[in-house]
């Protein structure tokens, strides 16, 4: 079965109340084409896992500001006033997690670990409600794994089998999220024939990628 699909085929993978991971740091390395399409599906009560809330007027941030979302698990929402307003009026519940902890929680899920222990956040609000474990005399927070139903990630180049290459600083959360969701949808700027990518340069193996969608240059 080919992994390259048309945008319209995405409908069947999405449902209300799903947990969806979105790759990217601000707009860099974010699957804009897929998000624009998903945003016009009539989805409700989503939970989103994302590094930051982006900018309210475009791409990921526009999706977060306009889709029907109950919860966002993230490290930063300061760049998106609309999401901030929805948090303040109770429309969206925001769980703020230190960025390095968030990425490790996602990695832990994909790596089959029961969580990770981090000194980050000890003595701050980040430790509230968390189990504290002392290791060699130093306090650590137990951060449990975070997985999702779907991950929407962005690559620069893909071959048709689903091998991915990211470009420059557009890597960020993408390869980590690729391992942490039941269904992984990768948007790629270029999709080439199998064999055209050097095996040495593959950054995410095709075994993690379920479907490939080609980016549209402009949305």
Q: Which residues bind other proteins (CB under 8 A)?
A: 25-29, 51-52, 74-79, 84, 87, 94, 96, 98-101, 103-104, 107, 118-126, 156, 166-176
Beta bridge partners of 154: 187
Q: Minimum distance between the CB of residue 78 and other proteins, rounded to whole angstroms? A: 3
Nearer to other proteins, 96 or 192 (CB): 96
Segment 140-143 long-range contacts (CB within 8 Å, at least 24 positions apart)? 141/101, 141/117, 142/115, 142/116, 142/117, 143/97, 143/101, 143/104, 143/105, 143/108, 143/115, 143/116, 143/117, 143/118
Per DSSP, 12 falls in state: G
Q: Minimum distance between the CB of residue 203 and other proteins, rounded to whole angstroms? A: 8
Q: Minimum distance between the CB of residue 121 and other proteins, rounded to whole angstroms? A: 5
Burial class (CB in 10 A: 0-12, 13-18, 19+), 59: buried
Nearer to other proteins, 46 or 141 (CB): 141
Nearer to other proteins, 10 or 50 (CB): 50
Nearer to other proteins, 69 or 77 (CB): 77
Q: Minimum distance between the CB of residue 175 and other proteins, rounded to whole angstroms? A: 5
């Amino acid at each position: 079965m080919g992994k390259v699909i048309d945008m319209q085929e995405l409908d069947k993978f999405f449902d209300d109340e799903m947990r969806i991971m979105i790759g990217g740091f601000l707009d860099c390395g974010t699957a804009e084409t897929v998000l624009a399409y998903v945003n016009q599906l009539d989805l409700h009560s989503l939970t989103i896992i994302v590094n930051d809330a982006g900018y309210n007027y475009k791409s990921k941030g526009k999706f977060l500001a306009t889709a029907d979302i109950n919860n966002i698990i993230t490290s930063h929402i300061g760049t998106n006033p609309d999401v901030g307003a929805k948090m303040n009026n109770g429309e969206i519940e925001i769980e703020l997690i230190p960025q390095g902890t968030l990425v490790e929680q996602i990695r832990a899920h994909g790596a089959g670990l029961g969580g990770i222990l981090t000194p980050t956040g000890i003595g701050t609000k980040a430790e509230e409600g968390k189990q504290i474990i002392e290791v060699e005399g130093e306090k650590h927070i137990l951060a449990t794994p975070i997985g999702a139903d779907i991950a929407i990630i962005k690559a620069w180049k893909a071959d048709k089998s689903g091998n991915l290459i990211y470009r420059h600083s557009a890597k960020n959360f993408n390869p980590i999220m690729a391992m942490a969701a039941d269904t992984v949808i990768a948007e790629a700027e270029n999709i080439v024939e199998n064999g055209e990518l050097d095996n040495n340069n593959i950054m995410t193996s095709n075994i993690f990628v379920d479907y490939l969608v080609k980016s549209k240059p402009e949305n």
